Structures are given as C-alpha cells and as structure tokens.
Chains A and B, each alone.
Chain A
Amino acid sequence: MDKFKKIEEQKKQWEEKTLNKVLERFPEQKETFTTGSWLPVERLYLPRPFSEEEYLENVGFPGQYPFTRGVQPTMYRGRFWTMRQYAGFGTAEESNRRYKYLLEQGQTGLSVAFDLPTQIGYDSDDPKSVGEVGKVGVAIDSLEDMELLFDGIPLDKVSTSMTINAPAAVLLAFYIAVAEKQGVPKDQLRGTIQNDILKEYIARGTYIFPPKPSLRLITNIFEYCSKEVPKWNTISISGYHIREAGSTAVQEVAFTLADGIEYVRAALNAGLDVDQFAGRLSFFFNAHNDLLEEIAKFRAARRVWAKIMKERFGAKNPKSMMLRFHTQTGGSTLTAQQPDNNIVRVTIQTLAAVLGGTQSLHTNSRDEALGLPTEDSVRIALRTQQIVAYESGVTNTVDPLAGSYFLESLTDKIEEKVWNYLKRIDEMGGMVYAIEKGYIQKEIQDAAYRYQQEVEKGDRVVVGVNKFTMEQEPPKEILRVDPNLRKVQAERLANLRAKRDNAKVQKTLNALKEAAKEEKENLMPFILDAAKAYATLGEICNVLRDVFGEYQESIVL
C-alpha cells in the first residue's frame, strides 16, 4: 500500500546510514533471534499495510467476535480477574484451614487440589494409594470428607474450581450434595471442574477409563449441568499440562483447541445443541517467561476458537464463541536453585496472563520446585497478583498492547501455525486418534527434548541453573505432609463403612452399574444418588471400571 511507501524508503536509509554502522562495530549477540518457542523474531517491526477491513475482521472490539482483544468490553476496568490459588494437601480439615486463610488474605475464588488417589478414583485405603495420600492435594474419599473440606465456607458466595478429571462427575456430585446440606440450591453454584480427559492421556496421566466412555461421562455432565447447574463451567479444556510437558506455545494452543473440538463433536453426536452447552466451556492455559509470545498466544487462541465455533460448528450465541480462560504461571519454569528468583519469573508470567486478558489466575509459589509451598510463599504469590492488579497500571485500558507491530504480527503467526496443526489433526481423523497413535505426545516430547538440550549446552540461559550459579545454597523451609495420613483416612473410611446404610449404598451402586451399561443413560443422577448415600469415590469408580474397562497408555519415547 502506498501509505507505507515512505516508511519503506526511510527504513532503507536507516539501515544504510544508522544500522549498518552500528552492526559493524557492535555485532548483535546472536545471528538469529527467536521467541521462547522458536518463532523467528526480527530486529524491528514496522507498521504493516493493514486495512480497516482486516482490523475489523481479525482484531475488532473487546467483547465482540472474534474476541481477539478480550471477552468483555471493559475487561479489568469492570473488575479484576479472579485471584484463585490452587491449594490442597493432607486432610480435608487442613485444606479447609488453608482455604479460609486464603480467603482472609483477599483471594476471590477457591481452587481445590486433590491428591492422586482421589484424582484416579482410588480410596485412601486402596493398596495403589500407598505413599500418595494427601501429598499433591487433599484426600477425598466420600461426601463426609467433602463436608469437612467446605465446612464454614458458604457455597453460594464463593466460586470453586476443582482440578478433577476422570472422576469429575463424582466430585461434582459430592459438591452438589454439600451445597444441598448448606441449603444452597444447585442453580446457585458457581465454579469449574477440569473434566478434560484428553489432556490426561496426552500429558497429565490421571486417566481411568478409555476415551469412549470418558467422553460419554463428559457429555453427561454437559447435559446435566445445562439443566440443573447452569452457572457451572462444565469443563476446563487445558493446555497448561501440555505446556508443562514441554510443548511450544503454538502446540499448547493447537492441541488444547483440538481437544475442545473433540468435546464439541462428542456433545453434538450425543444430540446436544451447540448453544446449549458451548457457553459453559472454559479453558486453562499456562503463562511462561517469554512475555510477548505469551500475550500473543492468548490473543490468537481467542481468535481461533471464535472462528471454530462460528464457522465450523455454527454457533449463534456469541457466548458460545468466547474463549474464557484461567491461567497458571509455569511450574516448569521454576528453579530449585535460588528459589527466590522464581518470584520474579512469576511476576513476568502474571503480566503475560493479565496483558493477555485472563479471567482468573493462579500464581505459583517460589518453592514449588522443592516441595509443597509454605504459607509465606503462597502469600507472596498472591501478593504478586495484587500488585499487578492495583499498582502496575496495566489494567486501566483494554488489551493495552494491541497495535504493537510486533505483537500483532506474532499473534498472526501463532494463529497460522495453530491452524496448520488443526488441519493435520483433522486429516488424521481427530484428536482421539492422534493421541492413540502417539502423534501428539511425540510432538511435545521432541520440543521438550530440544529445549532441555539447549539448556544443557548453555544455548538457553536459565538464571541460577546454567549461569549465575551459586556454590552453596541455604536450605529452605518446606511444608511436609503427615506420612501417617493414609492411616487416618483409612480409619475414617472404616468408620464410615460401619455407620452408613450399606444396603442403600449397594442399591445405588447397582443402579449406577445398570445405567452405565445403557449408553443412552445420563449417569449424573445415578452418581449423585450414590454420593448422597455415602458410597465412596473408590466404590463408585470401581463400578464404572467394571463396565468401562481401563485405559492403557500408549508409550512413546
């Protein structure tokens, strides 16, 4: 376009007169520069021939299709993101105390971390649970534990996010049952279950059942909640763990949206209308250190998802096209060496999430490469969000970096590469097939290997790890979980099994089993009945294991 002819001319002059002289005397540090995920970065970005139509089509206005600039028209001028620290360890009572502490410190939503046995549907007294009870989250075996977990926390006032996938229906049932006991009706409940099984197969590992029955459970939840728990986010389609496993930023977006496509397809196949459930889909991304790449990633993700929902799935309601997302700062970017440096990393990542338009945020604690975070560390992490919200000024205008020549170019670049992946996955026959073939895992592993090799060779600097290291580091205080916890939980389970109405438990479990065999049945009401009868998580999941079988990992190296 003629409009930019002058700039082009002057650029040439600038190169000859100014740039080249400097380059002769002071060569640049590297021959080529890239983002953290190896996207090429030029020395200088200039105004591009960008037509009005192109702007309106690709960037547009916040709160409007394609939502590049954000899902709300006022963003943080209206209200800040939800500050939501993922927490949970030990017993329900201990975690309950931590939640109350976080709420007192100004946190605005809860986020429950469950231990691995809970996430994989084993009771604490199961032999497979040895060593794992209460370690990476709270141990929940039955409705009884859930009552203790939310004791004194009004469920009509807080929104609660639960990181639970394979047994998401069971934990949601426990939550609904606790709310009922508090006198809070289902339609008042606000929160999120992660409920994203595909990324468990890819990267996170807490799967139970094979893909087909897993997708059925997920669509059962979509359908049930659309009628009974309408304010609940029924899924949090997660790129976080894909990135933690070593993917690039582009892969994080591409594989997450490909998972999203699979869930939408499954729900449509089950006979749901797209606008009936799509507005309750939510997403979960990572925030790593390459600030501008991360911001561009969030903007590109919103744009691609909007286009998918509108063009591919024919959604009519704009809410169905909005990619709303939670962010967690990057766990794998934390270093065990000089852990206080992590506070700085988390600050950069917080800025990335906020400048990228996140709806909620968890900031990691500095000591998470060493073990569970202490209360002091968790408070600093929360304060980091509060400082960005209240002091940095970046919240005063919507999508402040829009129009940056570099950022817009990077947003476009990421979008283009995401579409390439989506096309390839479609050609392979969809995400379930691509996972079963190991294609997705291999792509991620190759990126992880490349990254680690760069660190090993010193081509990629990680401060405190391969440069600016210290010989002796002072030992750090860490939080420890009581090793006898499994015994405590096992005793509680024994008591529960002695005092509950076991005939009723058996009846509800039998009903669940029969329903599970009928593909058309929605399992949510049956799971809720079993939960209310104090059937344990393990008992409920074992019934489903019997009917559905278990997933076998496809090992890719």
Chain B
Amino acid sequence: MSKRIRILIAKPGLDGHDRGAKYVARALKDAGYEVIYTGIRQSPEAIAKTAIQEDVDFVGLSLLSGAHNELFPEVVRLLRKEGAKNIIVFGGGVIPQEDISFLQEQGIEAVFTPGTPIQKVLNFIESKKEKVLA
C-alpha cells in the first residue's frame, strides 16, 4: 500500500483571513490527501515544528496581510535548518506578481494568487508526488 500524501496548511503571521486556507484544506482533503490545518496566527517556528512532527510532505502557507516576503522564506529556512530537506513549500494569498519570483528563489515552489482554480493546486501536488514519495 502506498503512503498517503500529508499536507500541512498553515497561517503564518497575524493575519486572520482564513477563508482561503480553510477552503484549500477542505478541497485537498476531499481530493484524498491527509490534511492538517494549523489555525491562524502561527509563528514560522511553530509551523516548522508542526510540519516536522506531523511528518508532512507539503506545507501550504496562506497570507493576505502582505507579510509574505518576510514570513514565507522564514518557514523554508527553519524547515531546512531542522533537516527537513524534502518538504515542499507552496503558498497563496494576496501576493503581488512581482514578489512571486523572489519567493520562488527563496524556496517557495509555487504561489497561487486569488482566483486560482483548485485544480491547479492539485496538479502541482500531483506533479511533485513522486519526488516526495521517493
């Protein structure tokens, strides 16, 4: 039996807008993945810790307050520092186009902006599946 993909959906920073995060979490669950949702107002440290403890394959970060350039890379940095080399980090929220390449350089592999169909997120996860299950 193959291992099921585990995904952590997390809200870093102080932003309380969780409609998108909860939608994505529920939609991923409906698509058959194991999904954990952190709740709002999590520090990057807490997110990295949960990701490692829960042995997840992906971390999806959601932020609408504009703090993504500071907080998203910090989560990646902490994961790598703690030795979680293979956890794939992606993100979403109100994120200006011009920030996306910066975030990608920092190790956030995909950024989904408002209006993205959920299928795109599913496709992304499927495309990375082999890498994380290897």
Contact = CB atoms under 8 A, between A and B. Distances in A.
Interface of A: 116-117, 119-120, 122, 128-132, 135-136, 200, 203-206, 244-246, 332, 335-337, 369-372, 445, 448-449, 452, 456, 462, 465-466, 475, 478, 481, 483, 553, 555, 557
Interface size classification for chain B: 35 or more
Interface string B33-64: 00101111101000000000000000000000
Given A130-B71, A205-B17, A555-B39, A452 B94 contact: no
B65 interface: yes
B113 A452 contact: no
Interface stretch (B79-87, B103-111, B114-122, B125-133): B114-122
B97 interface: yes
A370 B27 CA distance: 24
Contacts of A135: 65-67
Contacts of A475: 97-98
B71 A131 contact: yes
B113 A448 contact: no
B11 to A, nearest CB: 9
Contacts of B43: 128
B70 A204 contact: no
B22 interface: yes
Contacts of A370: 94, 96
Contacts of A119: 14
Chain A interface main SS type: loop
B23 interface: yes
Contacts of A445: 22, 26
Contacts of A122: 14
B14 A128 contact: yes
Given A244-B19, A369-B94, A452-B27, 7 more contacts: A131-B67, A132-B66, A205-B41, A244-B17, A448-B19, A448-B23, A557-B22
A260 to B, nearest CB: 21
Nearest to A205: B16
A206 B70 contact: no
13 contacts: A116-B13, A116-B15, A117-B14, A129-B14, A131-B70, A135-B65, A135-B67, A244-B19, A371-B94, A372-B66, A452-B23, A475-B97, A557-B25
Most buried by A among B13, B43, B66, B71: B66
Contacts, number: 102
B127 to A, nearest CB: 19
B66 A136 contact: yes
A483 B66 CA distance: 10
B101 interface: no
A120 B14 contact: yes
A135 B15 CA distance: 11
Given A136-B65, A335-B115, A336-B115, A557 B26 contact: yes
B94 to A, nearest CB: 6
A340 B117 CA distance: 21
Contact of B114 (A335, A481, A557): A335
B113 A555 contact: no
Contact of A336 (B15, B19, B113, B117): B113
A555 B94 contact: no
Nearest to A204: B16
A122 B43 CA distance: 14
Nearest to A207: B16
A293 to B, nearest CB: 20
Contacts of A132: 13-15, 65-67
A148 to B, nearest CB: 22
A456 B31 CA distance: 14
A483 B69 contact: yes
Contact of B115 (A203, A337, A555): A337
Contacts of B23: 448-449, 452
A130 B67 CA distance: 8
A79 B37 CA distance: 48
Contacts of A203: 16
A226 B36 CA distance: 46
A245 B67 contact: no
B40 A553 contact: yes
Given A130-B70, A555-B39, A116 B19 contact: no
A369 B114 contact: yes
B14 A116 contact: yes
B27 to A, nearest CB: 8
Contacts of A478: 96
A205 B18 contact: yes
A553 B113 contact: no
Contact of B37 (A130, A136, A200, A555): A555
A336 B96 CA distance: 10
B61 to A, nearest CB: 12
B69 A131 contact: yes
Contacts of B97: 475
Nearest to B117: A456
Contacts of B96: 370-371, 478
Nearest to B35: A557
Top 5 A-B residue pairs of the complex, sorted by shortest distance between their CB atoms: A205-B16, A131-B67, A131-B70, A116-B14, A135-B66
Contacts of B114: 335-336, 369
Contacts of B119: 456
B40 to A, nearest CB: 5
Contacts of B113: 336
Contacts of B74: 130
B48 to A, nearest CB: 15
Nearest to A122: B14
Contacts of A449: 23, 26
A338 B16 CA distance: 26
